Structure 1
Amino acid sequence: MLDASSLLIIAGTFLVAGAVKGVIGLGLPSVSLAFLAVAMDLPTAMALLLVPSFVTNIWQSVVGGSARAILVRLWPFLAMATITVWIGAAALTRINLLLLTALLGGLLITYSVVNLVGFRMVISSRQERWAGPLFGVANGVLTGMTGSFVVPGVMFLQAIGLPRNMLIQAMGMLFTVSTVALAAALQQSNFLTLQSGAISVAAVIPAIAGMILGQRIRNRLSEQTFRTVFFVSLFILGTYIIASSLRVFY
């Protein structure tokens, strides 16, 4: 049973993660994983983010009016990103969790650096046909191993030139199907317990409160300034996670 201080850390984490999502429209899984992986083991952190991630992304995935067009165009990418989560999750019982936590730190650093330097890939419509499934496989495996949904899936969605509203909806669809697949994989591996599920449900409250707060902050603060602070902070957290994991491992 988690003690009161652990529950406060969880509530505070999802309040902050929700606020980030409220300001820039993404980041809840990344922020929650970054903080929770410092305070507890990786599979528990992954289990706790499931319900807040699903609730905050399902609406993003259905609103926008482009769901049909996205599915027709991106179903190979989304299908592979979903199916291969089980492959990655198998590593949770076969690879030292400290190494997988360090991998999470590496993904957070990659995600932050890519955004801070403004790097963007460009994938043509012809390349998209074969690149989509490959990026889907990579994203699914890494999701299963670390709980992070964004690398390289979001980079692929940005690279194929989707209009802004369609991009946001496509990211919501990716995060939603990845969350459902991760929940099933964790349950199959006995990492999703009744206690972690109940806490994950309760974590929706601070996550939504954070989103409301973040939306208010967005009206008062430059989004570009906030994004810079966010990605710099994510870089620092990722570096700390790697250093802590490898120090304990060695």
Structure 2
Amino acid sequence: MLPIPLSGGLLYPHLQALSAAALAGIAFALVLGGMVKGVTGIGVPLVAMPILTHFMPVKEAVLLLSMPIILGNIPQAVEGGQILPTVRRIAAPLVGTVIGNVVGVWVLISLEPHRAQFASGLVLILAAALLLASPRLTFAPALVKPVGLVLGFGAALMESIASVPGPLLAMYLIATGATGRAFTKQIAIILVVSIVTLLTTFSSGAHANVTDLALSAAASLPAIAGMWLARPLRDGLHPLAFRMVVLVCVLAAAAQMIWKSGVL
């Protein structure tokens, strides 16, 4: 077997330089994100991202969260089969996410670290506000595809910059009538395609390597552990109340990211 170039990529050099306390903080962020997802259904990145940026730049945080998102959504994407019919139904947002991630990665790589942190804070505030408001829209049949393309593009930009594509995608799928298992399956497929595009774009630009992917996959373990730990809480805590508290905390953390960036 060929040796893996540990010195390359984005994640390994940065993680290697961190203290044990910082690594523990990263693990805590992933566990907490998994716990929140297990109780409320909110994705891991919305909670973990503000914490991770205390220990690493935004680019590395986005890359670290990529495999936990993929591995967490693949089971839901393939559940019940009917993958091709579902893909045809959501073709417009899928195309939008592919284009949006290519553009978003270029934007993220081009930004200075403090400006990337500022942009990520703004995106997180938008994402949390959208989930707090939970707007329920309806689209005319003629608008479903063009709106899907635009919102898929916007969701991919949010994914590339702050790893939070969920709110825009949720708005679109709810507005097109997706509920229950259909909603879960559709958003899972879009997220998997989105993150694969993100990783491919990172890798093609020599900004990520096999080691980065392995480290990101390892980051899935604390997130999964958090989901497992949260199981007993699901019946004892009202999900809506927990969701509201968490999103308020995310808003506060995102505001801190913006302040810490120094752009203002």
Do these two structures clear the TM 0.5 threshold for a shared fold by scoring above it? yes
Name the residue aligned to 1:207: 223
CA distance in 2, matches of 1:100, 1:154: 25
Name the residue aligned to 1:52: 68
Shift of 1:208: 0.9
- 2:42 pairs, out of 9, 20, 26, with 26
**Residue 98 (structure 2) pairs with residue 82 (structure 1):** yes
CA distance in 2, matches of 1:40, 1:49: 12
| Greater displacement, 96-105 / 227-236 | 96-105
Shift of 1:189: 3.1
Name the residue aligned to 2:120: 104
Shift of 1:64: 4.4
- 1:224 pairs, out of 210, 231, 240, with 240
Amino acid at match of 1:158: I
Residue 66 and residue 31 in structure 1: after superposition, are their counterparts in 2 closer, same or farther (change >3 A)? farther
1:32-181 alignment, distance < 5 Å: 32-65=48-81, 67-181=83-197
Shift of 1:193: 4.4
After superposition, the CA RMSD in angstroms is 2.0
Contact 1:21 1:211 in 2 (8 A): yes
CA distance in 2, matches of 1:17, 1:81: 23
List runs of 5+ in structure 1 lacking aligned partners. Answer: none
Q: Secondary structure at the match of 2:54?
A: helix
CA distance in 1, matches of 2:217, 2:134: 35
Amino acid at match of 2:45: P
Contact 1:30 1:108 in 2 (8 A): yes
Amino acid at match of 1:86: V
Contact 1:47 1:191 in 2 (8 A): no
Contact 1:64 1:165 in 2 (8 A): no
Shift of 1:95: 2.2
Q: What CA deviation, in whole Å up to 9, does each residue of 1:3-44 have, x standing for no partner?
A: 322221121111111111111223212222221123210111
CA distance in 2, matches of 1:108, 1:64: 32
CA distance in 2, matches of 1:122, 1:153: 14
| Greater displacement, 20-29 / 147-156 | 147-156
Amino acid at match of 1:53: I
Q: Secondary structure at the match of 1:190?
A: coil
What percentage of aligned pairs have identical amino acids?
26
Superposition TM-score, scaled by structure 1 size = 0.90
CA distance in 1, matches of 2:213, 2:197: 15
Contact 2:130 2:167 in 1 (8 A): no
Superposition TM-score, scaled by structure 2 size = 0.86
Q: What CA deviation, in whole Å up to 9, does each residue of 1:98-157 have, x standing for no partner?
A: 222222212221222223233222223221022111112222233223333225222222
Contact 2:46 2:124 in 1 (8 A): yes
List runs of 5+ in structure 2 lacking aligned partners. Answer: 1-15
| Greater displacement, 81-90 / 119-128 | 119-128
Contact 1:66 1:166 in 2 (8 A): no
Name the residue aligned to 2:203: 187
Name the residue aligned to 2:21: 5
Count of aligned pairs: 248
